[in-house]
Amino acid sequence: MSDPLSIATGLIALIQVTAQATEYLKDVKDGGKERTMLRDELRSVTCLLEMLHDRVEEQDESENEDGLKPAAMAALAGPDGPLERMKTTMEDIVSKLAPQAGSDLWEADQAANKPRAISKLTSEKVHQVGKQLEDMDLEGRLQEKEKILCWISSTSFRFKQADVLQSVQPGTGKWFLEANEYRDWLSGNVDLLWCPGIHALDECASSDMVALELVSALQALGENNRLLITSRTSTNFESFFKDVARIDITARDEDVRLYLETKIPRHSRLAKHIQADPKLQNDIITSIAQSAQGMFLLAALNLDFLSRKITRGDVRSSLSILPKTLDATYEQALERIRTQAEEDVQLAETVILWVFCARRSLGVYELQHMYAVHLLIRDEVPNEETMFLEDDELPPENIVTGVCGSLIVVDGTSKTVRLVHYTAQDYLSRTFGEHLNKPRLELTRISLEYLQLLNFQSGPVLSDSAMAERLAKFPFLDYAAKYWGAELQGLEIEAVWGLLNRFLSNEIAVSVASQIWSLPYQRYAYWSNEFPKDVPAIVLAASFQIPNVLERLVRQGKDMEGRGSDEETALIRSARIGHEGNITALLRLGADVAAADVAGETAIDVATIAGKTSTVKALIDGGASVNTVTGTESWSLLMSAVSSGSVEAVRLLIESGADVTTQTSWGETALSLAVLSGQEAIANLLIDSGAILPLNSAGRRATLQASRKGLATLATRLSLFAVDYGAVVDAGIPREPVAAPQQLAQIAELEEVPTAEVTEPENGFSLEVALDGLSYQRGFHRRYDVLETLGEGQFAEAHVCTRKTTGVLYAVRTFAVDTNTGWTAVRNDRWTGGPPQEVVALTSLRHPHIMNVVEVLVSDAMDQLCFIMEREPEGELYKVIVMKQKLTEQETRCLFRQLFSALEYIVSASTCNFLAHYAQNTS
């Protein structure tokens, strides 16, 4: 009786028995103090049992919602658990208290001790159950928060946030928490609080008006929303927030003073000056606070300025000339840098401008390698035979950053170097202006030379450990490979053409750069091999918006249709990334607009799938057809546009003549796909353009899905088609899946609770509906070759497969689905109400001792769901044991550590309760 319903029933019976014992106790004569104690204990036990009953009922409800199955519930109802022992004790007490049993002969003190002990044990179990429920609820909320953060942005800001938190001065900012406006917002009396002074809202969009649209959308979510918004000040924001509660965030005088009192002792020179003249500290604090103008940054910069003074006299004389604006402070900082030795000045200006111009944040170690290469190529024509980087040539970390004064800071955890503030970025942009092309040219030259270092003469590395070691030993390699061409469009190409041509003619350097450029974001087994082989230089160059370079390469004789193992041409690479300039230049030179990659996708296919409207337009203008289909299942370009979620891409294709009535081989149309994925705007656009739902069960299913997703207006428009779908369904069709588009825009839907009874699907089976919410892409057989069979299990068949573009071997688990009924060919089961629990769980598991899912695909015919998984070269553990007959103690210990580590992870994951039971199966 480990399920909550059985436990609840048993508790009710136990409460009744306890109440009966209490009633019998009233008839006991001459019990004295023992009778009173026993009565109190029984009533206490009754109270605890009722509390436990409430907890079990709550647990039963949460299980229906979240699938929680705490082990503590099963422990309560075990064969020798507290409930069983209490039941035995209570039955013993009732039998002795019953009138025919002769209560005068019963030892009251012995009976009283048993309920007391059981009461204590039950109380402990109640607390344990509550604690585990709280822990599991917290873990679930943390996992949900992690998913939301990853959905918002794939970039992690934790290191940055950790560094900021380390720099927080305790005690500052209390005035904000004590402000009436903040307290009113916190208590719910104010729905919106605007706090100008800290950038946030103004950085989330391309313009103020777009950012304010976000605020309006958030306000429309419901009356219970309470928004606290920070931003810079602007006329648009001032107008929008003029009638709402407001707190201006500035550095208050008391905060600045507290900050300075803490920071001054950390500057050794100032600390010695103050030790000699204690009054100097108060003078410093007063002067800096007065010049701070409500900015901690200005206070910090002025403190840094004073900390470099050699004598107390210099400090005192400087107090009267402290700059009161950031521009004056930055100018002063540059002047201090220029008073250093000439080599230090050159190093400082070089590093500051590199940090300013870089396409992403640079680390300290990257800057060390950059400057070392910078020294190697100071000659006009560097000697290629000497281009070998050794540790002796790296400048020390403290020198690289130390000479830059207060203009840059190094984040403690990530070792990332950045400008001290965004205002420093503005100042440098205004100060150097047109002279910034020089550091951009240096970044390009250093990147190209770095990729050609003799350290990489062996070419690409083909093991994960070797790649990790290479990236750690040569930290600038990642930036060089991914951004070597990023600045070329704004430079005079002649200034770098010789070096660029030498790089693009160096097959080893091109292959090294191509490997790093293609490395996947997630690191699973064989991640270092996930790159296309033999990529031509012109295709690699097409990764950047450099049409003039591509034209010169073609005129030099480079094959414009050259391909690597992924069959990707320069035109397809440009379309995939969205470089319209490249596309226009290549098409003008005669590039084949109909060329396809290894997955059978053309340039316009990949651009449409990504929803890049301007790129699609450039290809249409260049002669690309808008009515092509991918694969053998009649998947149209318009369907790919629907899948991307881009209304503009759909509109462009329709205006260019795309056929809105095209159906897949199983009966889906662009309109039915839009409805199924909840894309109301696209569906309405298609209807306005003459699209109707297909006359099959797919049309009926789309109409029902519109209602289920709460799209009332759309459902009404669809119902006006007045099609007798019932007759269509009765007639039947050969097969009825819905195409599973790549990157289909997902919209949240409340799922219906599936009934226990299994019946034939009323409207045909839809694999897409079954997999709603799961990220996957189409074309398994276009992207992978299936090799030998690994085995057939209860849920799926397993094979070895190889990715066509890279040749990397994986394992694939294939769920074969009957597209008419939803029955799987592998096991006698049906999918209802969403994907099987194992499917959901497998995609969420990430653990070093679990074969992780690399990606999820479906076949073009929508009759197979395929999980590409890491492959274990040694095969199954069972086969290893059979082969070796027995394992050593060390091997066994290692295996069980891995096994228990993985089991603990699975059991603790709130999304994997199904697997937690499955993984503990003895087979």
Split the chain (923 residues) into runs of 10 and give each run's mean pLDDT: 66 79 70 72 76 69 46 63 76 72 48 61 62 61 66 63 74 89 91 89 82 87 86 86 90 87 88 90 89 82 86 89 86 88 92 94 94 80 70 89 88 84 86 88 95 94 92 95 94 92 95 94 81 95 96 94 94 95 96 92 93 94 89 82 90 94 84 86 91 81 78 81 49 39 36 36 58 74 87 78 87 76 47 54 73 83 82 74 83 85 72 49 45
DSSP secondary structure string, 628-646?
-EETTTTEEHHHHHHHHT-
Q: How far apart are CA 543 and CA 540, in angstroms?
A: 6
Q: How far apart are CA 66 and CA 911, in angstroms?
A: 8
Residue tagged 């003459």 (tokens): 690
How far does CA 103 lie from the centroid of its chain? 69
Q: CA triplet 839, 845, 847: central angle to 5 degrees?
A: 150
CA-to-CA separations, 469 to 472, 560, 802, 847, in angstroms, rounded:
5, 35, 26, 22
What is the model's pLDDT at position 741? 39
Output the 3-class SS for 424-493. Answer: HHHHHHHHHHHHHHHHHHHHHHHHHHHHCCHHHCCCCCCCHHHHHHHHHHCCCHHHHHHHCCCCHHHCCH
Tell me the torsion sign for CA atoms 667, 669, 671, 674: positive
Q: What is the CA radius of gyration of the chain?
A: 35
The residues near 99 (Cβ < 8 Å, ≥ 6 apart) are 24, 27
CB 829 within 8 A of CB 793: no
CB 858 within 8 A of CB 865: yes
Q: How far apart are CA 819 and CA 740, in angstroms?
A: 13
Q: How far apart are CA 449 and CA 455, in angstroms?
A: 11
Q: CA triplet 36, 41, 43: central angle to 5 degrees?
A: 95
Please tell me what DSSP assigns to residue 602: B
The residue type at 134? E
Q: How far apart are CA 333 and CA 329, in angstroms?
A: 6
CA-to-CA separations, 128 to 64, 71, 75, in angstroms, rounded:
21, 10, 10
What is the model's pLDDT at position 572? 96
CB 273 within 8 A of CB 280: yes
The secondary structure element, H or E, covering residue 120 is helix 108-152
Tokens standing for residue 884: 């070796």
CA-to-CA separations, 193 to 170, 188, 221, 244, 248, in angstroms, rounded:
24, 11, 17, 6, 11
Q: How far apart are CA 421 and CA 430, in angstroms?
A: 15
For residue 82, which phi and psi values (nearest 5 degrees)?
A: -60, -40
CB neighbourhood size of 275 (10 A) = 11
Tokens standing for residue 396: 């020390």
What is the model's pLDDT at position 517? 95
DSSP secondary structure string, 790-811?
EEE-SS-EEEEEEETTT--EEE
The secondary structure element, H or E, covering residue 236 is helix 235-240
Nearest to 832, CA basis, from 775, 910, 752, 777: 752
Q: How far apart are CA 252 and CA 272, in angstroms?
A: 28
CB 108 within 8 A of CB 35: yes
The residues near 332 (Cβ < 8 Å, ≥ 6 apart) are 305, 323
The residues near 451 (Cβ < 8 Å, ≥ 6 apart) are 477, 480, 481, 484, 503, 509, 512, 513
Q: How far apart are CA 529 and CA 526, in angstroms?
A: 5
Q: How far apart are CA 34 and CA 37, in angstroms?
A: 5
Q: Is 578 left (phi over 0), alpha (psi -120 to 50) or beta?
A: left
Please tell me what DSSP assigns to residue 392: G
CA-to-CA separations, 386 to 56, 419, 454, 480, 506, in angstroms, rounded:
74, 34, 8, 19, 16
Q: How far apart are CA 486 and CA 871, in angstroms?
A: 36
Q: Are strands 784-792 and 416-419 parallel, antiparallel or unpaired?
A: unpaired
The residue type at 425? Q
